[in-house]
Structure 1
């Protein structure tokens, strides 16, 4: 069999129900919520160990928001995925346009692979069982079917859509009889009692040409907009940038609504709609109650993550990022601590955390979007303290990386090296600073900070001036094209 399986990772979404840990600039797919590796990294590694009878195309296609491009690239590289093709969406248009971009990219080199479409924010505990399901689906996708993976339901869940299984399509795979929207509690229980309904996972397998055939038939407007966007795409470093204006004109729709739900009623298209049942310890970690569910529990059902302790608590989640969190007498409560925000919620109402984020956005609060610790392509900085006319940052620069050559109109900066070696450009001067050495960058002075060493460079920066906003940066040269 010459067909290859191409991993396609959909890395959009903002994860607002997992605030304050997940924020718009650093959403849940980039967080290590279920182990040491981030959810994106786990997804990118999910096909390792697949039987050799299914050849995997190692040039994984990743579709993500352009604001997350360096974050996605660095995490993929750290996970050993060094041949990824990263498509940058100018704006979110849901999963159908994202998959259309990926299919067009998959065919760009003249091949027509079978795509395994995986959201970047799912958790699977049983990878051998997942590999078995992928192996079951693969020959049917090669033959022209479009396949989704339905999660074997463990409870009457109202937060997921459902798939009704039809007649068998082959061993371990069924045709799809119908789709059902997220039900109320009574209807969800009927689905469970029926035994023929699966949760809709958002995982798909389909050949690139078959998807393009289906989307051109079902949603020609989406197909046309994406085709134009990719025809006018620009290569930027290791990224592919679809044309912004063309993609902005693309309607938003999901894979399910745009195509999958229509296929059972369109036999003339010749694309069977099938489902493979999946029992792999799956979760989409949609809210904090799901994080509690997958975490180890003590004898009272509490999940304790980080520097946290619980006394006389039951069924609660205590999550610490930066300091001690102590809970006493809590029942079914979620406490999530980050350096700049704390969430306390009834575990049964964690779906409503997104309403808090909406309120913060409405009030113009930056904590809806940003963490105190901000990641950049060269490393990261943490805004430690601020007050009238001053701000203190801890800055870490990766080995070999540089900030842009820049200047500021409204602030001066003092730099103190606490770890590593800094190469400093200040006006016409270029010099090195070692640990415990410092320099002063006057207001309006052209400057650059670089790390010529092999270990991370860490400095403390004290800014002073009349305005300290991040938009007071005039970039003269920038390695990262910002």
Structure 2
């Protein structure tokens, strides 16, 4: 069992091209898109269940996503090591951390780097490909999986395969990499496919010691920062926090640029399983089941005289489309997107424009997840805000206070244990409690069912940063 592959899921992207469903507060890898019930992160974890092939997975993610990662893994009954990046430094730093972490247990460990937001339509074929690529990786090659193109896609990078690798690696179909090619236009993409080029999946399989050696040669600053971040890391609950100051020293660069385009040890295994990075709404339309008119319809929607379109409405809002072809219409509780299927790549620029205008919907959903549960804004205005708060059984919010607002809590389901300064009270369904400005307070769900309450905030400022944490079981220091 010591020769198993150690999978590492990189889980730090924001997926802004899939706005408004995907946002910084809950990015695309954590929401059901290709599958109505399972996120792409969960689907990635499920592909790694073969214990004869894969060891316990590692997840590298952002600090703000740590509890979503934990909860989604727990829902599947999958255990994993979770490393927290204090900031985004692109994939080279994450790969360096993954290699160093694996090498601390076994320098020759086989490490497989996977993205959390990809769709693969044939799990057995993926597992078989990983086993084949491992043959070449054991011989010292840094392998990637090259997807056989199904069309002249312009959203992917390409790989030009070279000669077959020597020995057993070549026998399983592995080839050297002649060169990496940037995302082409449609004409160039068609030419590359004719020449036998493959899509660059971004999956890498290597021995930990080999990747460390290549990082030391081609990206020593990345390796040094990753090493220090691991050595100075701290443990927080079930997570490992990489040291912020050390990690920040890593140059922001992808593993493709840092190592793969420079090393002479790279190799590619051509594969044919269905694959998509679900990078745009148009890409999602391509992988979803469609009706006889070519429409992919999700949620509470109705269409008429509409063809080859994607209509996505996970909220309670009824979304209707009449007389349009080749469009994307996405409805959420607080935002609507209308674009063409071909225009999905421009959504990222739209989100940047919204950020520049200070629109909160650019990054935050109305429904916000927290380690203790969630809250959803119902209404907001001058000097007030109304929220619906849900607290998981046994969970507790931080002991905190506010300088600018008072709060009224009305319990609508379950029982709340409420601390107000030195007093602790049980508040039952259809009962209320008042929290004056400046009081120290905490909310706990002592029961066996979710606690739901309506919170009415009144004051000169109702922003999330008016939270002074005095004590917190989740190790938070900000308004999260």
Partners of 2:107 and 2:207 within 8 A in 1: no
Q: Give 5+ residue unaligned stretches, structure 2.
A: none
Pairwise CA distance, 1:4: 2.3
Partner of 1:108: 104
Equivalent residue for 2:70, pick from 56, 69, 73:
73
- Summarize deviations over 1:141-193 as a string: whole Å, max 9, x none: 12221110011100011111111112222223222222111112111111122
For 1:451 and 1:235, the matched residues in 2 are separated by 26
Deviations 1:66-85 (CA, angstroms, capped at 9, x unpaired): 22222222222222222x22
- SS of alignment partner, residue 419 of structure 2: strand
**How far apart are 1:415 and its partner, in Å?**
1.1
Aligned partners of 2:47, 2:106: CA distance in 1, in Å? 26
* Match status 1:85 vs 2:81: yes
- 1:19-65, CA deviations, whole angstroms, 9 ceiling, x for partnerless residues? 11111121111111121111111111112247x3x3x221x211111
Aligned with residue 135 of structure 2, among 136, 139, 145? 139
Tell me which residue corresponds to 1:257. 257
Q: Secondary structure at the match of 2:84?
A: strand
What TM-score do you get using the length of structure 1 for normalisation?
0.94
1:458 correspondence with 2:452 = yes
Residues 228-239 of structure 1 mapped to structure 2, 5 A cutoff? 228-239=228-239
Farther off after superposition, 64-73 or 123-132: 64-73
Q: Show the counterpart of 1:299.
A: 292
Cα distance in 2, alignment partners of residues 181 and 315 from structure 1: 29
| 2:412–2:453 CA contact under 8 A, matched in 1 | yes
2 CA distance for matches of 1:475 and 1:422? 20
Give the structure 2 partner of residue 214 of structure 1: 214
* Distance in 2 separating the partners of 1:96 and 1:298: 42
Aligned runs of 1:10-409 on 2, under 5 Å?
Answer: 10-35=10-35, 36-49=37-50, 52=52, 54=53, 56-58=54-56, 60-82=57-79, 84-110=80-106, 112-169=108-165, 170=170, 171-194=172-195, 196-263=196-263, 266=264, 272-322=265-315, 323-409=317-403
Kindly report the root-mean-square deviation, in angstroms, between the aligned alpha carbons of the 2 structures.
1.4
Q: SS at 1:424's partner residue?
A: strand
User: Deviation digits for residues 198-243 of structure 1, max 9, x if unmatched?
Assistant: 1000011111111111111111121112112222222222222222
Equivalent position SS for 2:343: helix
Distance in 2 of aligned mates of 1:451 and 1:103: 41
What is the CA–CA distance in structure 1 between the aligned matches of 2:409 and 2:271, rounded to whole Å?
Answer: 54
Instruction: Give a deviation string over 1:406-427, Cα, whole Å, max 9, x none.
Output: 1111211111111222111122
Provide the C-alpha distance between the structure 1 equivalents of 2:407 and 2:336, rounded to a whole number of angstroms: 31
Per-residue deviation, 1:336:
0.5
Going from structure 1 to structure 2, the CA distance change for 1:2 and 1:69 (only over 3 Å counts) comes to closer
Once residues 346 and 296 of structure 1 are traced to their aligned partners in structure 2, the CA distance between those partners, rounded to angstroms, is 19
Q: Is the 8 A contact 2:399 2:441 kept in 1?
A: yes
User: What SS does structure 1 have at the residue aligned with 2:206?
Assistant: strand
Give the superposition deviation at 1:298.
0.9
Whether the aligned pair in 1 keeps the contact of 2:137 and 2:207 (CA below 8 Å) is yes
Asked if the contact 1:161/1:180 (under 8 Å) is kept, the reply is yes
Question: Is 1:130–1:280's contact at 8 Å kept on the other side of the alignment?
Answer: yes
TM-score by length of 2: 0.95
Contact preservation (8 Å) 1:407, 1:444: yes
Give the match's secondary structure for 2:113: strand
Q: Does 1:469 align with 2:463?
A: yes
TM-superposed CA distance for 1:405, in Å, is 0.8
Task: Decide which moves more: 109-118 or 364-373.
Answer: 109-118
1:433-457 CA distance string (max 9 Å, x none): 2222221112222111111122211
| Structure 1: distance between partners of 2:115 and 2:19 | 19
SS class of match (1:417): strand
Does the CA contact (< 8 Å) of 1:29 and 1:39 recur in 2? Answer: yes
Please state whether the residue corresponding to 2:189 is helix, strand or coil.
helix
Question: Are the equivalent residues in 2 in contact too, given 1:100–1:212 (CA < 8 A)?
Answer: yes
Does structure 2 conserve the Cα–Cα contact (< 8 Å) formed by 1:319 and 1:335? yes
Count of aligned pairs: 469
Please state how far the C-alpha of 1:110 moved relative to its aligned partner: 4.8
DSSP 3-state at the match of 2:99: helix
Aligned counterpart, 1:269: none
Distance 1:375 1:30 in 2: 11
SS in 2 for 1:222: helix
Change (3 A) 1:128 1:146: same
Unaligned runs of 5+ in 1: 267-271
